[in-house]
Structure 1
């Protein structure tokens, strides 16, 4: 009887481990999605900074001071 009990215990442990691995896979998938979104956001911000830098450089070349109208 102890052999059968050991086998059942081992099967139970394997099933628990499999469940934990599946949960970890799901968490990794979610983190990958979040990381892809963060990467897209960073690229968007970089493009905006480049445009702002270009505007500043162009305004400096024209000899006029940039004006802020309000």
Structure 2
């Protein structure tokens, strides 16, 4: 009877490990999706900062040009 109990315990352990692995897989997939969203947000922010830098540099060049002309 001991070997039957050991077998049942081993099967139970395998099933629990499968459940934990499935949960871990879902977590990793969710984190991957969040990481993708973060990368997209980073790209959008980089583009916005680049545009702002362009506006600031353009304004600075215009101000320097006005000083030269005066």
TM bucket, shorter chain: 0.7 to 0.9
Which structure carries more relative contact order (alpha carbon 8 Å, separation 6+)?
1
TM-score (norm 1): 0.88
Deviations 1:41-65 (A, max 9, x none): 010000000000000001111127x
Could you say which structure has the higher helix fraction? 2
**Where do 4+ consecutive residues of structure 1 move more than 3 Å?**
none
Aligned equivalents of 1:63, 1:10: Cα separation in 2 = 78
User: Which sections of structure 1, spanning at least 5 residues, go unmatched?
Assistant: 65-70
- 2:39 aligned with 1:39, yes or no? yes
**Pairing 1:25-64 to 2, within 5 Å after superposition:** 25-63=25-63
TM-score (norm 2): 0.88
Partner of 1:6: 6
Deviations 1:13-66 (A, max 9, x none): 0000010000000001001000100100010000000000000001111127xx
**Pairing 1:14-25 to 2, within 5 Å after superposition:** 14-25=14-25
